[in-house]
Structure 1
Amino acid sequence: MLKRPKKNEYHPYFERYIELVPDEELLDILKSQQEATANLLQDISREQGEYRYEAKKWSLKEVLGHMADVERTLSYHVLAIARGDAVSFTPFDKDLYMANAHFSQLDFQDVLSDFSIVRNCTSSLLSCLPDNAWMRTGTVLNQPLTARALAYIIAGHELHHQAIIKERYLLKYNCH
């Protein structure tokens, strides 16, 4: 079983995601998250997908697209670090990504399908990493970051957004 990363394996900013991940097998968590997100969002209508809980906030569809974008980016970081590239990653501008993504033009179910495809790719990558790859490091926010910490950040980021979706988007529709 992959153990929870230690605090010296990541920048303190990421603690908010890592602390959300339960102490279970990480690959099992990722699979169950994928199923939970799919079940949570499978019957979302066009209106619900376009819903914004405040005027300047992202729509539910955009939140889901953001989740896929972040996972793609972090999975690439895992790949680079696990393969021995001790690269330094700069943070990406999530608002710039959103401005250029045009999720609003896509069907909600297509965005949900894309998220599932991204998660399948992440799970495949993580399941094939050799044991010695997990502790390899790159740099993010001028601090070492292990492949193991990144895997936990991926899981925690989804849990973070699942909670936001339930609390701020689906309660309006009494979905959950």
Structure 2
Amino acid sequence: MIPKPQPTEYNAYYQPYVQSVPEGTDVLEFLQKQRYEVIQLFGRVSDGEADFAYAPGKWSIKELLGHMNDTERIMAYRALCIARGEQNTLPGFDENDYVANAFFQERTVGGLLEEHQVVRESTIALFDSMAPAAFTRVGNANGSPVSVAALAFIIAGHERHHLNILKERYLAKL
């Protein structure tokens, strides 16, 4: 079981994500269960409905799912680098620029969901393959220290955050 990280293991920005994973939770099981929740929630949205944004300037449902995929890839890459002993600072990313340059609107919900499942399988396999000592390793991403364990919890909490937004601000208005 991956230990829940201490607040010193990640930037305070990520605290809401880390704290949203309940105490005593096996984060790998949590990640596995989220796969099914993503399928259940996004799977009931048609491609036409997935172009919906709940307010001007907000992402569409397709963009939200694409952002979740991109962010998980980036966080998993950071975890891989740090677990393998990378000493260089890993770059940050601007989520809005990534979404603006991804053309998620041209994709189908089914395609984005397929991608999510592959990304999540890869993430779980990565964490599952690591020795326990790897989770305590701390590197630097976007100018802040972060542990491998923290990245696992950030991935889970980030997705939980966006699934709550999907339910409250998107699906409730469709």
TM-score normalised to the size of structure 2?
0.96
Partners of 1:28 and 1:13 in 2: CA distance: 24
Gaps of 5+ in 1: none
SS of 1:138's equivalent in the other structure is strand
- TM-superposed CA distance for 1:112, in Å, is 1.1
- Look up the match of 2:166: 165
The AA in structure 2 aligned to 1:91 is: G
- Give 1:38-117 correspondences, 5 Å limit: 38-117=39-118
- TM-superposed CA distance for 1:3, in Å, is 1.7
Partners of 1:165 and 1:129 in 2: CA distance: 32
Partners of 2:62 and 2:163 in 1: CA distance: 13
SS of 1:88's equivalent in the other structure is coil
- Look up the match of 2:7: 7
- Look up the match of 2:16: 16
Partners of 1:160 and 1:129 in 2: CA distance: 26
- TM-superposed CA distance for 1:44, in Å, is 1.0
- TM-superposed CA distance for 1:150, in Å, is 0.6
Residue identity (%) = 38
- TM-superposed CA distance for 1:89, in Å, is 1.9
Number of residues of Structure 1 aligned to a counterpart in Structure 2: 173
SS of 2:101's equivalent in the other structure is helix
Asked whether the equivalents of residues 138 and 144 of structure 1 are also in contact (C-alpha less than 8 Å), the reply is yes
Q: 4+ residue stretches of structure 1 with deviation over 4 A?
A: none
- TM-superposed CA distance for 1:142, in Å, is 3.0
CA RMSD of aligned residues (A): 1.0
Gaps of 5+ in 2: none
Partners of 1:146 and 1:107 in 2: CA distance: 35
TM-score normalised to the size of structure 1?
0.95
The AA in structure 1 aligned to 2:96 is: D
SS of 2:145's equivalent in the other structure is strand
